[in-house]
Amino acid sequence: MTKTNRKVQYLAGLCVSFAFTFTGAAISWPSPAIPKFKNGEANINISDSQSSWVVSLAALGALPGCYLGKVLSERAGRRRTILSAAVPGFLGAGIILFTKTPELMYVARVLMGIANGITAVVTMIYLTEIADKEIRGALGMLVQVMNNLGSLAIYGIGPFVSYTALNSMWVDEQIDAMRMHVQESMENKATLKELATNMKYRKAIYIISGLKVLQYMTGSLAIQAYLEIIFRQSSSISGPYASIVYGFVQLGAGIGATFLAGYFGRRVLMFTSSFGVAVALTIVGLYFFLQDYIRVSPETLSSISSLPLIGVLSFNILYATGLGNLPYIMQAELFPINVKTTASSAATMMACVMNFFVTKSYQGIKDGFGQFTVFWSFASIAYAGMLFIYFFVPETKGKSLEEVQDNMQKEIEEVERLNKFETNKV
């Protein structure tokens, strides 16, 4: 492979990953928007319950987006599918820009979710297909970098501009996304029934399902959505400025992760990431436990006021090194080409359901059981994830897609032979 061809791969990967700047902006937009709801700046009469729907409906909208991404990818190709995601995103951005009612905001967030779902299904498949095995992990991490760039734009600008100016950023993001051009690739088709019933896909389904639970049930998207509110509820920390620091750290962590992916295996990075995320979330939960449940003295609370910032920033960095994007890469690696689009669509739909559950239930669990319960619940998933990664997740770094599939098939055949032997023995 020549250096010129490798440069083309990086350039194509950079272009297609750019669509995720809108995804990052969509995820992070509630962080500066919700305070504007509360202080009346947005001039919208909206309750906390309605705000939680605004936050979470983007995830629900991604469900039909995942299906559309699968269908369009098989019929129109990767390039046109990714470009088509800009259409519902642009419509949603326009509604957000002009609406003053929660009900229309629901519609807008669903449309944005559709755009995100289409993008999520197709992008990682495309990246893993065009990349050499030596750079596949690093190239896949570009998605996270672009996602973080969109978040940083919202965190850095959103708290300091008007609500109208904040919403106009949606339109700019979508116009940029519509200008992106990527190469087109087609593949064989397979049905969801074949994916679910064929034994040779069973192990990959188990692995990706477990990684999706770990990726989304540790609360990353809920933390991003409620970031400024989290910091406003912790002592001596400025919500807007802490959010900006979070955005810069998130971007830097994503860039750093692209280099780490080239040196360390998937298992090592995800295991380390899961452990670090668990500890960081435990620390944040401990602060809110002392503040809201134990009700320690203001002096004691002031002495540990940096714990939420340290914990959330540590979560940010460690999540980016593994759990943030490697499950997407493995999702595109573990399934053979004939079911890859169907599998990616199904896995992303599963992620959307979990994302909706986490973002919608955040406010209710916080109000009913305390903020510490939310973070310790996320942490418990991360602790369990360490065991899952250690015992069940294979290493795919440095292997071609064909080698990954061959290894998966050999393991399945060995299990089938063992099962047959045990049956005959009985």
Instruction: Answer yes or no: is pLDDT of 180 > 50.
Output: no
Mean pLDDT of the chain: 80
Per cent of the chain over pLDDT 70 is 83
pLDDT in tens, 18-76: 778 888 888 888 888 888 888 888 888 888 888 889 989 988 888 888 888 888 887 88
pLDDT for the residue numbered 341 = 77
Taking residues 255-265, what's their average pLDDT?
78
Distance CA 312, CA 100 (A): 32
pTM of the model: 0.76
Distance CA 21, CA 65 (A): 17
pLDDT in tens, 319-330: 988 898 888 888
318 with 273: CB under 8 angstroms? Answer: yes
84 with 59: CB under 8 angstroms? Answer: no
Containing structural domain, residue 177: 3-425
Q: State the helix-helix crossing angle for 30-38 and 163-178, rounded to 10 degrees.
A: 160
Distance CA 216, CA 45 (A): 30
Instruction: At 101, list the tokens.
Output: 């009612």
pLDDT for the residue numbered 192 = 61
Instruction: Answer yes or no: is pLDDT of 84 > 50.
Output: yes
pLDDT for the residue numbered 213 = 93
Q: What is the band of 195 on the pLDDT scale with cuts at 50, 70, 90?
A: low
pLDDT for the residue numbered 327 = 86
Q: What is the band of 3 on the pLDDT scale with cuts at 50, 70, 90?
A: low
Instruction: Answer yes or no: is pLDDT of 281 > 80.
Output: yes
DSSP 362-379: HHHHHHHH-HHHHHHHHH
Residue owning tokens 């559709």 = 114
Query: Number of structural domains, the chain?
Result: 1
Single-letter amino acid code for the residue at 191: T
Q: What is the band of 237 on the pLDDT scale with cuts at 50, 70, 90?
A: low
DSSP 212-249: HHHHHTT-HHHHHHTHHHHHHTSTT--HHHHHHHHHHH
**Phi, psi (degrees; rounded to nearest 5) at 339:** -120, 5
Instruction: Answer yes or no: is pLDDT of 151 > 80.
Output: yes
pLDDT for the residue numbered 179 = 47
pLDDT for the residue numbered 188 = 40
pLDDT in tens, 335-373: 777 777 778 788 888 888 898 999 899 989 999 999 999
Q: How many residues does the chain have?
A: 426
Residue 226: which CATH number?
1.20.1250.20
